[in-house]
């Protein structure tokens, strides 16, 4: 017994897919149910993702005569904010899945003849994939919000001061050792007391300096995001952040793919889009960043396995060195 199955997609428009399912059998066969499911799948550097979005029963108690064929037209609406997507580590696509549930007697016959039965209830399935693309009439949008960046301006200052303290204490310790007398006592006792004093004091002082600089140097610059006609505006709220020179800002779109196929779990992190850098003249100036021309880069997630996120990146010069600061993620949609 051979059963041929085919799904033909006629049209995909605004989250509605229409088409026909064709079934042909070399022998007489009966099916308890014939149904169609709309599924979303992700494939790439991962174990795979498969989710049923919706479905429709096309017919029940279907009988097909020998060498006969039958057609089932369908039209199904489905709800999803995710477009078809092809990134660096993953591809997201939609499928129209035809499911045939043979009757009990035919199911055992198909199994004996080696026809492939799959699914929890022993269904015959075949899938036709199709693309879901946003209309070009839709535009990206964001909700007005405030983002934070954690910045430590004095990350190297404490280390530099500690080195200076050590360089100061080395000659003092050498002088005390050569003269054999520290704090008015004899050589051996003085050496022990001096070793403790000269090692403990810099360590305590180093901790105090690091904590002080950390408290004074770490601020959380805030950036106000507001939607505009062709993009969104970014404006720094904290004046203290302007001590970083030659400030520029852009946004990054990053793809995250969780790979748990082996004994360990790895998350692949790839930048799939970078906007142009725009200079920030002062904290009072709002900078406009324009959306990409590509239409399928809105934020989305498929469980914990696939995510597409947007971030702001600010680059500037501090203490003669180039520094880069990344914001928390923010949501971008299309409507």
Q: HEC profile for 7-37? A: EEEEEECCCEEEEEEEEEECCCEEEEEEEEE
Distance CA 40, CA 53 (A): 7
The answer to whether residues 20 and 71 touch, using CB atoms and an 8 Å cutoff, is yes
Three-state secondary-structure class, residue 80: coil
* pTM passes above 0.85: no
**Residue 105, Cβ neighbours under 10 Å: how many?**
10
> What's the CA gap between 199 and 265, in Å, rounded?
43
What class, spelled out in words, does domain 3-130 have in CATH?
mainly beta
The pLDDT tens digits of the residues spanning 185-198 come to: 555 565 566 666 65
| Interacting residues of 187 by C-beta distance below 8 A, sequence separation 6+ | 180, 181
Look up residue 267 and give its two tokens: 């998350």
Cβ atoms of 31 and 102 closer than 8 Å: yes
> How confident is the model over 276-293, as pLDDT tens digits?
999 998 777 899 999 999
Q: What is the 3-state secondary structure (H, E, C) of 139-172?
A: CEECCCEEEECCEECCCCHHHHHHHHHHHHHHHH
Element (H, E) at 189: helix 187-217
Q: What tokens were used for 35?
A: 């149904």
Name the fold adopted by 140-150+220-334: Immunoglobulin-like (2.60.40)
103: nearest Cα among 117, 89, 90, 92: 117
Give per-residue pLDDT as tens, 200-241: 666 666 666 555 554 444 556 789 999 998 899 999 887 666
Q: Are strands 145-148 and 151-152 parallel, antiparallel or unpaired?
A: unpaired
- Matching CATH topology for 3-130 and 140-150+220-334? yes
Give the pLDDT confidence score for residue 155 in this predicted structure.
47
The ranges assigned to domains in the chain are 3-130, 140-150+220-334, 157-218
Q: Is the pLDDT of residue 10 over 80?
A: yes
User: DSSP 3-state assignment of 178?
Assistant: helix
| pLDDT for position 129 | 98
Looking at the DSSP assignment, which residues form a beta bridge with residue 59? 34
């Amino acid at each position: 017994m051979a059963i041929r199955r085919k799904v033909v997609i006629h049209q995909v428009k605004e989250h509605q897919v229409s088409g026909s399912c064709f079934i042909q059998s070399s022998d007489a066969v009966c099916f308890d149910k014939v149904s169609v499911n709309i599924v979303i799948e992700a494939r790439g550097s991962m174990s795979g993702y498969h989710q049923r979005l919706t479905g429709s029963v096309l017919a029940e108690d279907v009988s097909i005569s020998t060498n006969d064929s039958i057609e089932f037209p369908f039209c199904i609406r489905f709800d999803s904010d995710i477009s078809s997507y092809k990134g660096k580590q993953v591809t997201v696509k939609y499928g129209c899945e035809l499911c045939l549930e043979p009757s009990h007697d035919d199911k055992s016959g198909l199994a004996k003849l080696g026809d492939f039965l799959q699914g929890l209830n022993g269904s015959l399935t075949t899938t036709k994939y199709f693309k879901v693309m946003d209309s070009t009439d839709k535009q990206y949008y964001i909700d007005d919000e405030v983002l934070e960046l954690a910045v430590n301006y004095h990350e190297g200052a404490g280390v530099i001061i500690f080195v200076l303290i050590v360089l100061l204490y080395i000659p003092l310790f050498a002088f005390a050792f050569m003269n054999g007398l520290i704090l008015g006592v004899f050589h051996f006792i003085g050496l022990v007391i001096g070793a403790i004093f000269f090692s403990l004091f810099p360590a305590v002082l180093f901790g105090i300096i690091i904590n002080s600089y950390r408290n004074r140097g770490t601020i959380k610059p805030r950036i106000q995001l507001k939607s505009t006609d062709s993009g969104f505006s970014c404006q720094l709220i904290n004046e203290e952040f302007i001590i970083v020179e030659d400030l520029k800002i852009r946004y990054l779109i990053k793809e995250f793919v969780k790979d748990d196929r082996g004994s360990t779990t790895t998350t692949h992190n790839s930048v799939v889009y970078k906007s142009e850098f725009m200079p920030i003249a002062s904290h009072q100036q709002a900078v406009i960043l324009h959306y990409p021309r590509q239409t399928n880069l809105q934020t989305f997630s498929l469980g914990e396995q696939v995510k597409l996120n947007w971030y702001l990146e600010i680059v500037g010069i501090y203490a003669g060195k180039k520094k880069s600061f990344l914001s928390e993620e923010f949501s971008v949609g299309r409507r």
